[in-house]
Structure 1
Amino acid sequence: MASSDSPRQSFWKKGERSNTKLPGRPQQVHTHSLDTELHTMTQTPSAMAGAPGGVARPRSKTFEEYSKETDDIWDDKEEAFSDLSTEMASLEVDKRRARGRPRADSKGKGKSAELKAFFVDVVKNRGSPRSRPRSQSDKPRKAFADQPGSRERSDSPTDFFDPPDRETMRLQKFGKLLAGPNTDLDELRKLSWSGIPSPVRATTWQLLCGYVPANIDRREETLQRKRQEYYNFIDQYYGNRSDPQHIDTFRQISIDVPRMNPEIPLFQQKIVQECFQRVLFIWSMRHPASGYVQGINDLITPFFVVFLSYYISGDKNPETYDLTKLPEGTLKCIEADSFWCMQKMLEGIQDNYTLAQPGIQTKLLALKDLMKRLDESLSVHLTRNSVEYIQFAFRWMNNLLLREFPLRCVIRLWDSYLSERDGFANFHVYVCAALLAHFSTKIKAQKEFQDIMVFLQNLPTTKWRDSEIELLLAEAYKLKFMFADAPGHLTVLRTS
Structure 2
Amino acid sequence: MNRTDSQGSTAVMSDISSHSFKDNNKTSFWKKTAKTVPGSIKPVYGAQHPPLHEKPTSGGNSPRKDSKMQQPLQKQRDAFEAFAEKTSDAWDDADDDLILMANVKMSLKDVHSTAMQVMHDHSEQLARREASPGSPKDQHRTYNTDRHHMTVSSTPGHGCGCRPGGPGVGVRLKGQWVGSRSSPSNIIGNGSPNDQLSSKCEKFKTMLESANIDLDDVKTMSWSGIPGQYRPTAWKILSGYLPPSLDRRQPTLERKRQEYYNFVEQYFDTRLQEVHKETFRQIHIDVPRMSPLIALFQQDKVQEIFERILYIWAIRHPASGYVQGINDLVTPFFVVFLTEYITDDAELDMYEVSNLSEAAVRMLEADCFWCFSKLLDGIQDNYTFAQPGIQLKVNALKDLVSRIDNSLHSHLMEHHIEYLQFAFRWMNNLLMREMPLRCIIRLWDTYLAETDGFATFHLYVCASFLTRHSYDLQREKDFQGLMMLIQNLPTHHWTDNEIGLLLAEAYKLKFMFADAPKHLVHKK
Amino acid at match of 2:267: Y
Q: Choose which of 132, 157, 160 in structure 2 pairs with 1:112.
A: 160
Give the Cα separation in 1 of the matches to 2:161 and 2:314. Answer: 43
Q: Which structure has greater helix proportion? A: 1
What is the CA deviation profile of residues 197-251 of structure 1, one whole-angstrom value per residue up to 9, with x for unaligned ones? 0000000000000001000000000000000000000011001001000000000
SS of residue in 1 equivalent to 2:213: coil
Amino acid at match of 2:504: A
Question: Is the counterpart of residue 389 in structure 1 residue 405 in structure 2?
Answer: no
Amino acid at match of 2:400: L
Aligned-residue offset at 1:486: 1.2
Give the Cα separation in 2 of the matches to 1:359 and 1:324. Answer: 38
Give the Cα separation in 1 of the matches to 2:193 and 2:376. Answer: 42
SS of residue in 1 equivalent to 2:494: coil
Aligned-residue offset at 1:315: 2.1
**Preserved contact between residue 242 and residue 252 of structure 2 (Cα < 8 Å):** yes
Match of 1:201 in 2: 231
Q: Choose which of 197, 222, 232 in structure 1 pairs with 2:262.
A: 232
Aligned-residue offset at 1:466: 1.4
Q: Choose which of 237, 244, 252 in structure 2 pairs with 1:222.
A: 252
Aligned pair in 2 of structure 1 residues 259, 305: CA closer, same or farther (>3 Å)?
same
Question: Is the counterpart of residue 212 in structure 1 residue 212 in structure 2?
Answer: no
Amino acid at match of 2:390: I
Aligned pair in 2 of structure 1 residues 114, 210: CA closer, same or farther (>3 Å)?
closer
Match of 1:489 in 2: 519
Question: Is the counterpart of residue 278 in structure 1 residue 297 in structure 2?
Answer: no
Match of 2:510 in 1: 480
Aligned-residue offset at 1:456: 0.8
Amino acid at match of 1:318: L
Give the Cα separation in 1 of the matches to 2:163 and 2:477. Answer: 54
Question: Is the counterpart of residue 312 in structure 1 residue 360 in structure 2?
Answer: no
Amino acid at match of 2:364: I
Amino acid at match of 1:194: S
Q: Choose which of 411, 423, 427 in structure 1 pairs with 2:457.
A: 427
Give the Cα separation in 2 of the matches to 1:340 and 1:272. Answer: 17
Aligned-residue offset at 1:330: 0.3
- Structure 1: 4+ residue segments shifted above 6 A: 114-121, 161-164
What is the CA deviation profile of residues 421-480 of structure 1, one whole-angstrom value per residue up to 9, with x for unaligned ones? 110001000000001111001111111111111111111111111111111111111111
Match of 2:332 in 1: 302
**Preserved contact between residue 302 and residue 407 of structure 1 (Cα < 8 Å):** yes
Aligned pair in 2 of structure 1 residues 341, 163: CA closer, same or farther (>3 Å)?
closer
SS of residue in 2 equivalent to 1:182: coil
**Preserved contact between residue 385 and residue 448 of structure 1 (Cα < 8 Å):** yes
Question: Is the counterpart of residue 416 in structure 1 residue 446 in structure 2?
Answer: yes
**Percent of paired sites with the same residue:** 57
Match of 1:261 in 2: 291
Question: Is the counterpart of residue 454 in structure 1 residue 502 in structure 2?
Answer: no
Of stretches 469-478 and 317-326 in structure 1, the one that deviates more from structure 2 is 317-326
Aligned-residue offset at 1:112: 3.4
Aligned-residue offset at 1:116: 11
Match of 1:47 in 2: none
Give the Cα separation in 1 of the matches to 2:426 and 2:227. Answer: 26
Amino acid at match of 1:367: L
**Preserved contact between residue 193 and residue 416 of structure 1 (Cα < 8 Å):** yes
Match of 1:177 in 2: 207
What is the CA deviation profile of residues 334-368 of structure 1, one whole-angstrom value per residue up to 9, with x for unaligned ones? 10000000000101000000000000011001100
Aligned pair in 2 of structure 1 residues 451, 251: CA closer, same or farther (>3 Å)?
same
Mapping of residues 83-94 of structure 1, within 5 Å: none
**Preserved contact between residue 116 and residue 171 of structure 1 (Cα < 8 Å):** no
Aligned-residue offset at 1:316: 1.4
**Preserved contact between residue 209 and residue 246 of structure 2 (Cα < 8 Å):** yes
Q: Which is bigger in relative contact order (C-alpha 8 A, separation at least 6)? A: 2
Amino acid at match of 1:472: L
| TM-score, normalising length: structure 2 | 0.64
Aligned pair in 2 of structure 1 residues 228, 371: CA closer, same or farther (>3 Å)?
same
Give the Cα separation in 1 of the matches to 2:167 and 2:361. Answer: 23
Give the Cα separation in 2 of the matches to 1:170 and 1:427. Answer: 24
Give the Cα separation in 2 of the matches to 1:163 and 1:409. Answer: 19
Aligned-residue offset at 1:376: 0.5
Give the Cα separation in 2 of the matches to 1:378 and 1:162. Answer: 39
Match of 2:358 in 1: 328
What is the CA deviation profile of residues 258-288 of structure 1, one whole-angstrom value per residue up to 9, with x for unaligned ones? 0000000000000000000000000000000
**Preserved contact between residue 397 and residue 463 of structure 2 (Cα < 8 Å):** yes
Match of 2:466 in 1: 436
Give the Cα separation in 1 of the matches to 2:356 and 2:278. Answer: 32
Aligned pair in 2 of structure 1 residues 366, 451: CA closer, same or farther (>3 Å)?
same
Q: What stretches of structure 2 of length at least 5 have no aligned partner? A: 1-156, 170-190
Q: What stretches of structure 1 of length at least 5 have no aligned partner? A: 1-108, 122-160
Aligned pair in 2 of structure 1 residues 431, 327: CA closer, same or farther (>3 Å)?
same
Aligned pair in 2 of structure 1 residues 163, 442: CA closer, same or farther (>3 Å)?
closer
What is the CA deviation profile of residues 362-392 of structure 1, one whole-angstrom value per residue up to 9, with x for unaligned ones? 1001100000100000010011101000000
User: Which of these two proteins has the greater Rg computed from alpha carbons?
Assistant: 1
Amino acid at match of 2:203: K
SS of residue in 1 equivalent to 2:401: helix
